[in-house]
């Protein structure tokens, strides 16, 4: 066995593979790190060697009223999308957990499929449909469209948590005389609370970064990512980096919060 | 656990169903109807006219864009899968459990960074006076026109799909029965041969699904082909945004969108069939 293991482990190949992993992560993080570095760099056309340290782009962004408006839109929309998606996602996750019914496959497809449809197609379909029912061109239309693609994420996160729950817990509560509603309130919701909050943060983060559908349907109520798209189309400037860094920090805060909740630091998860 | 329909159950099941019917299914169905409508004097007119289909399918530029998009998305899916596999393989088999958790966590981060900002960052790397050309200049090479090429579009496509492909491949690799690999080694099966004869077939479903997702993402992406590829050659996604945004020709854009959906459905069907081929025993 020992000999086999030695045969199996060629240190050269091992080192090569690890080097490859590092290179792969470098490829993934190069644009993210570069955006961070250049957001503090003075040059109008970023490249190396670096210019001097400067907060010019942050100031330029902070003094742009359109950016503030975009930020307000993004935050408001993100919050509404997070709450709505989590409520809908919870319902769907619970439905999948508890019920068997005819057409459940279709129900699950509806619940999970939307993120796989290309965003340009969703954007066009939403724009055409919502303008038909007089709902396009405002913040509401972005909320509606974002909930469609975010609810599946919420459902997946909450469903995962429900599958960790002992199925007899619910019936035990019923046997003890609790109604279905009381069981939901005192057993199921407390058990899934970390996942509910996790889903809330993750769906908000997804909404914060979504630009394509928002670009199609938002009209004049542009969100921050749509603003970035506008910068890309017109005057490319390091302001993109400043906004990008800000959005990154916001999203990561949400994701790390979600991660902490989901990895079970909460009191309800000691059971595992 | 079969129970009659109750108010309680419906309270949880119905909201999502209603929402996705109203705002997911109906818009897509409406797209079909829209593709038969016409635009007169900048106004949409309901009707049943195949003119949009005839016009779009009769245009060489449409088929050119179709071919380009299909070829580039397929190439990107193949390239991303091939480049991601050694990475996923190394994470699955060569790293400690703790390092694995970190690797997964780090690969999730890109999903929560703006794709637009990353694409802009690649412009900084690839432009004529950009980072890569400056570095090549130190070696006395270049400058090369890296931006606005198909290569640059590929970099963008990989930025979009590489993390997802690594994660999906990783999840299929960690579930491989390790005893199979040990058995192969015990029978003196060579290292590379083990990868191709044991590891890849065992993880086939996951690998194919990963490639499929990469294909779907790249097929529909309009950011990389425009801002890294320079918009030339045109892809279907660019055609949709142009037709919708500047042309106001929504019915024609609907024709493009429906053609894309049909293509993706065929691709997904073929991929899933290939993934599970010979498995249904």
Q: What does the pLDDT look like over A20-41, one tens digit per residue?
A: 999 999 999 999 998 888 888 8
71-90 in chain A: CB under 8 A from chain B: 87-90
Provide the token pair at B111.
Answer: 């999903």
Helix boundaries (H) for chain B: 7-20, 26-34, 51-57, 60-94, 97-108, 115-126, 131-138, 150-174, 178-186, 191-194, 200-202, 204-220, 223-227, 236-245, 250-275
Which single residue is written with the structure tokens 């690999």? B181
Q: Could you tell me which of A216, A207, A211, A215 has the C-alpha nearest to residue A125?
A: A216
How close B278 comes to chain A (CA, Å)? 24
Residues facing residue B38 across a β-bridge: B45
Q: How far apart are CA B269 and CA B281, in angstroms?
A: 20
Half-sphere exposure of A60 (CA within 13 A, CB side): 16
pLDDT the model gives residue A148: 95
**Using the 8-state DSSP alphabet, how is residue A187 labeled?**
I
Give, as one character, the DSSP assignment of residue B139: T
Residues A86/A92/A95/A101 CA torsion (nearest 10 deg)? 170
Cα separation, A262 vs A203, whole angstroms: 14
Shortest CA gap A59–chain B (Å): 18
CB within 8 Å of B273: residues ≥ 6 apart: none
Point out the least confidently predicted range of A59-73, A257-271, B62-76: A257-271
Q: How far apart are CA B235 and CA B258, in angstroms?
A: 15
Band of pLDDT at residue A268, cut at 50, 70 and 90: very low
Query: Contacts from A122-125 at CB under 8 Å and sequence distance 24+?
Result: A122/A148, A122/A149, A122/A212, A122/A213, A122/B27, A123/A212, A123/A213, A123/A215, A123/A216, A123/A217, A123/B244, A124/A216, A124/B31, A124/B240, A124/B244, A124/B250, A124/B253, A124/B254, A124/B257, A125/B27, A125/B28, A125/B30, A125/B31, A125/B257
Q: Give yes or no for a contact between A54 and A238, defined as CB atoms under 8 angstroms apart.
A: no
Give the residue from A72, A219, A208, A81 showing the smallest Cα distance to A144: A81
Nearest CA in chain A to B163: A28
- Output the six-digit token pair for B268: 């997904």
For the question of whether the overall pTM of this predicted structure is more than 0.80, the answer is: yes
Helix, strand, or coil here: A53?
strand
Are A24 and B159 inside 8 Å of each other by CB? no
Query: What's the rounded Cα separation, in Å, for the pair A186 and A184?
Result: 6
**What's the rounded Cα separation, in Å, for the pair B12 and B221?**
34
Residue A1's Cα: distance from chain center in Å? 46
- Residue A127 touches chain B, beta carbons under 8 Å: yes
The model's confidence at residue A8, banded by pLDDT at 50, 70 and 90, is low
Cα torsion A216, A109, A90, A149 to 10°: value is -10
For A20-24, A159-163, A220-224, B9-13, which range has the lowest pLDDT when averaged over its residues?
Answer: A220-224
Chain B nearest C-alpha distance from A267 (Å): 22
Q: Which of A63-72, A240-249, A253-262, B93-102 has the lowest mean pLDDT?
A: A253-262
Sorting pLDDT into bands at 50, 70 and 90, what band is B4? low
Nearest CA in chain B to A209: B114
- For residue B67, CA distances in Å to A33, A270, B73, B198 come to 35, 55, 10, 35
- Model confidence pLDDT, tens digit, residues B208-264: 999 999 999 999 999 999 999 988 889 999 999 888 877 678 899 999 999 999 999
Q: Do B131 and A38 touch (CB under 8 A)?
A: no
**DSSP readout, B229-246?**
TTT-S--HHHHHHHHHHT
User: pLDDT digits over B7-53, tens only?
Assistant: 888 999 999 999 999 999 999 999 999 999 888 877 788 888 888 89
CB contact under 8 A, B162 and A27: yes
Highest mean pLDDT range out of A71-80, B43-52, B177-186, B237-246? A71-80
Complete DSSP assignment for B67-107: HHHHHHHHHHHHHHHHHHHHHHHHHHHHS-HHHHHHHHHHH
Q: What is the ipTM of this complex?
A: 0.88
* Model confidence at A266: pLDDT above 60: no
Parse chain B into domains and list their residue ranges: 60-275
How far apart CA B110 and CA A63 sit, in angstroms, is 28
Distance CA A214, CA A227 (A): 10
Enumerate the H helices of chain A as residue ranges.
Answer: 2-8, 11-38, 56-62, 65-98, 104-112, 119-132, 139-162, 167-175, 180-183, 189-209, 212-217, 224-233, 239-262
Question: Nearest-CA residue of chain B relative to A88?
Answer: B16
B269 pLDDT higher than 80: yes
- CA-based nearest distance A247→chain B, Å: 7
> Which is more confident, B241 or A259?
B241
Tokens of B41: 């004097």
Selecting from 3.30.420.40, 1.10.3720.10, 3.40.640.10, 3.30.1360.40, what CATH number does the domain B60-275 have? Answer: 1.10.3720.10
Q: How far is CA A181 from CA A83, A100, A177, B147, B206, in A?
A: 21, 19, 11, 59, 40
């Amino acid at each position: 066995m020992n000999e086999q293991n030695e045969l199996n482990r060629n240190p050269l190949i091992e080192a090569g593979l690890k080097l490859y992993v590092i290179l792969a992560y470098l490829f993934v993080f190069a644009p993210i790190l570069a955006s961070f570095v250049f957001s503090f760099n003075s040059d109008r056309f970023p490249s190396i060697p670096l210019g001097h340290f400067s907060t010019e782009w942050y100031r330029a962004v902070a003094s742009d009223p359109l950016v503030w408006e975009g930020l307000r839109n993004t935050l408001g929309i993100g919050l509404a999308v997070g709450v709505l998606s989590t409520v809908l996602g919870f319902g769907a996750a619970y439905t999948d957990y508890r019920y068997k019914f005819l057409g459940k496959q279709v129900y699950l497809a509806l619940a999970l499929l939307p993120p796989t449809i290309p965003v340009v197609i969703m954007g066009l379909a939403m724009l055409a449909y919502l303008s038909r029912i007089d709902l396009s061109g405002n913040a509401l239309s972005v909320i509606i469209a974002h909930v469609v693609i975010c609810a599946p994420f919420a459902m997946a996160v909450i469903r995962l948590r429900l599958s960790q729950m002992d199925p007899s817990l619910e019936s035990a509560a019923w046997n003890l005389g609790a109604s279905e509603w009381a069981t939901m309130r005192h057993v199921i919701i407390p058990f899934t609370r970390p996942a509910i909050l996790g889903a809330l943060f993750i769906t908000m983060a997804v909404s914060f970064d979504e630009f394509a559908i928002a670009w199609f349907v938002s009209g004049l109520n542009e969100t921050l990512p749509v603003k970035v798209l506008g910068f890309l189309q017109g005057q490319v400037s390091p302001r993109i980096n400043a906004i990008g860094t800000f959005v990154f920090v916001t999203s990561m805060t949400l994701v790390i919060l979600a991660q902490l909740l989901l990895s079970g630091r909460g009191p309800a998860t000691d059971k595992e | 656990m079969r129970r009659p329909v109750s108010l309680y159950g419906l309270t949880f099941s119905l909201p999502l169903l209603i929402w996705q019917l109203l705002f997911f299914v109906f818009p897509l169905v409406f797209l079909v109807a829209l593709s038969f409508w016409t635009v007169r004097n900048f106004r949409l007119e309901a009707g049943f006219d195949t003119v949009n289909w005839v016009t779009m399918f009769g245009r060489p530029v449409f088929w050119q864009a179709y071919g380009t998009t299909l070829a580039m998305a397929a190439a990107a899916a193949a390239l991303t899968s091939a480049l991601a596999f050694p990475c996923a393989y190394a994470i699955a088999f060569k790293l400690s459990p703790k390092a694995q958790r970190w690797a997964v966590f780090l690969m999730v981060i890109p999903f929560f960074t703006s794709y637009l900002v990353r694409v802009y960052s690649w412009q900084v790397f690839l432009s004529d006076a950009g980072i890569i050309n400056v570095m090549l200049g130190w070696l006395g090479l270049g400058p090369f026109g890296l931006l606005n090429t198909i290569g640059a579009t590929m970099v963008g496509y990989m930025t979009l799909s590489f993390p997802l492909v690594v994660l999906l491949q990783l999840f299929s690799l960690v579930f491989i029965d390790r005893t199979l690999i040990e058995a192969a080694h015990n029978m003196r099966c060579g290292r590379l041969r083990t990868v191709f004869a044991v590891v890849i077939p065992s993880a086939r479903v996951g690998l194919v699904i990963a490639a499929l997702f990469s294909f779907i993402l790249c097929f529909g992406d309009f950011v990389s082909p425009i801002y890294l590829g320079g918009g030339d050659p045109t892809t279907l996604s660019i055609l949709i945004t142009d037709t919708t945004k500047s042309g106001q020709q929504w019915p024609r854009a609907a024709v493009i969108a429906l053609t894309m959906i049909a293509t993706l459905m065929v691709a997904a069907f073929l991929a899933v069939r290939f993934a599970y081929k010979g498995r249904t025993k």
